[in-house]
Amino acid sequence: MKLPRILAISKKQFQTLRHDKRTLALMLIAPILAMVVFGYAFGTGNKHAKVMVINQDCGATAQKIIDHFDTDTLSITYNNDTAAAKQSVRNGNAVAAIIFPPSFTADSHPVGPRPPQGAHLELYLDSTEAQQAPLVSSQIATALQDYAKDQEAVSAFAVDTGYAFPAAKNATFIDSFLPGIMAFAVTLFTILLTLLAFVGERTSGTMDRLRITPVTETEIVLGYELAFGIIAAIQASLMLLVATLAYHVLVVGSIWLAALIVILVAVDAQSLGILLSAAAQREGQAVQFLPIIIFPVFLLSGIFVPLQSLPDWLRPLAYILPPTWGIQGLRDVMLRGWEISQIWPILLVLLSFAIVFSYLSIVGLKRARN
């Protein structure tokens, strides 16, 4: 394996773009366009937000309120340990922890004079789950109201909200959406361009010409991956730039770590594209593969629909899509400010996908020499 040959392959990709201005424009503008369009078009209608309920109430009021929660909207797990519950919110295992203190019934049905603050319950919220966090707040408000309607002498309730990720306390839909659309756009365009490039190499006969030279399949694949990794990083930076300037999108964590994830997502998409290109005879056929890739990624990878909302039988499918991991990783980094020590499992998964797919595409290219 020789570096200059790998670099030659990468450089060729950029030279092609220099002469092919239309593709260049598509690559730079389309992801931003996608972000703008989808950013406004989606954003509601989620279910099954995971919440931990810690009911320490000595009376029965808390349970009555809990019974008012819509179990379709919230999927409730009971717990006795407040600290552990908050930890699982911070780990991303639940969107919120709702804590009813021991005095809840007593405070809400005062025998003597009302306590001035009313009855308090504590809400510990992961606001970076920008689609589900508001569900939890509104569910609590509704349940409290419903309960109050049924009862006569009830004191005011108060909700003390705490945030799992204080820096992201005002996260909105676009904040959690940006990582999704970044991973999605990079996946889409990388697969598209890879498919076209490789089918083009084959139909134009340049692949034959490459095979006659000393360049190896490994060098070809690595050269392409280098080029598309760089292109993906440029795309992601542009999207980040527009998102922060135009939408004031929140980026809490390290940009570099986010860039690394985007590059890994691109390499995954790229090697998948090479694999797919083997099945297409012409460019037109290659394009037909796109829907097969796009729809599952669009619907299953967590861009719009949280993974918890997926039916159980579909969820495993989500986990074999590299963008699912990429999106989770990007959200963890950009919104929650997680560091490498926390997201290394995601990096490892993305890297494994890259290694396995690259290996398979190298084997595929070698087998085409028959």
Partner 1 sequence: MTDRVVTFHSVRKLYGSFQALSGLSFSINKGELYGLIGPNGAGKTTAIRVLTGLNRHSSGDVTVLGHQPQDPKLRPLLGYMPQETALYQDLSVEENLRFFGKLYDIPAVELNRRVNDLLAFVDLEKWRSHVITELSGGMRHRASLAAALIPKPRLLVLDEPTVGVDPELRANFWQRFSEMQRDGTTILITTHYMDEAMRCDRVGLINHGQLVIEGAPAQLIHDANVSNLEEVFLKLAKREAPQ
List contacts with partner 1 (CB under 8 A). 2, 4-5, 8, 11-12, 15-16, 19-20, 204-206, 208-216, 369-370
Residue number with CB closer to partner 1 (126 or 219):
219
Q: How far is the CB of 205 from partner 1 (least distance, A)?
A: 3
Nearer to partner 1, 69 or 228 (CB): 228
Q: Give the pair of three-digit tokens for residue 97.
A: 């922890």
The residue (of 55 and 216) whose beta carbon lies closer to partner 1 is 216
For partner 1, give the closer residue by CB, 41 or 212: 212
- Of 84 and 368, the one with the shorter C-beta distance to partner 1 is 368
Q: Degrees (nearest 5) of the Cα angle 161, 162, 166?
A: 130
Where are the alpha helices (H) located in the chain, listed in sequence order? 3-19, 21-41, 61-68, 82-90, 104-108, 133-150, 173-204, 206-212, 217-247, 255-277, 283-288, 290-300, 315-319, 322-334, 340-367
Q: Minimal distance in Å, beta carbon 203 to partner 1? A: 9
**Minimum distance from CB of 230 to partner 1 (Å)?**
18
* Shorter beta-carbon distance to partner 1: residue 129 or 201: 201
Query: C-beta of 234: minimal distance to partner 1 in Å?
Result: 19
Q: Which residues contact 28 (CB under 8 A, 6 or more apart)?
A: 234, 235, 238
Q: Which is nearer to partner 1, 19 or 149 (CB)?
A: 19
**In the bound complex, what is the minimum distance in angstroms from residue 16's beta carbon to partner 1?**
4
What minimum distance in Å lies between the beta carbon of 334 and partner 1? 35
d(CA 10, CA 1): 15
Report the C-alpha gap between 302 and 177 in whole angstroms: 9
Give 148 or 215: the residue with its C-beta nearer to partner 1.
215
Tell me whether residue 274 is exposed, middle or buried, using C-beta atoms within 10 angstroms of its C-beta: 0 to 12, 13 to 18, 19 or more: buried
CB of 279 to partner 1, least distance (A): 18
Q: What is the DSSP string of 21-71?
A: HHHHHHHHHHHHHHHHHHHHH-------EEEEEEE--SSSHHHHHHHHS-T
Residue 208 Cβ vs partner 1, minimum distance, rounded to whole Å: 5
Q: Tally Cβ neighbours within 10 Å of residue 150.
A: 9
Nearer to partner 1, 12 or 47 (CB): 12
What crossing angle do the helices spanning 21-41 and 217-247 adopt, rounded to 10°? Answer: 50
| φ and ψ of 17, to 5 deg | -65, -35
Would the CA dihedral through 217, 219, 220, 225 be positive or negative? Answer: positive
- 300-332 per-residue burial string, b: 16 or more CB within 10 A, e: under 16: bbbbbbbbbbbeeeeeeebeebbbbbbbbbbbb
Question: Collapsing DSSP states into helix, strand and coil, what is residue 97?
Answer: strand
Total residues belonging to the chain: 370
Residue type for 302, please? Answer: G
Min dist CB 322 to partner 1, Å, is 29
Sheet of 74-78, strands arranged across? 74-78, 49-55, 96-100, 119-125, 157-163
Q: Based on CB atoms, which residue is closest to partner 1, 86 or 202?
A: 202
Minimum distance, C-beta of residue 219 to partner 1, in the bound complex (Å): 8
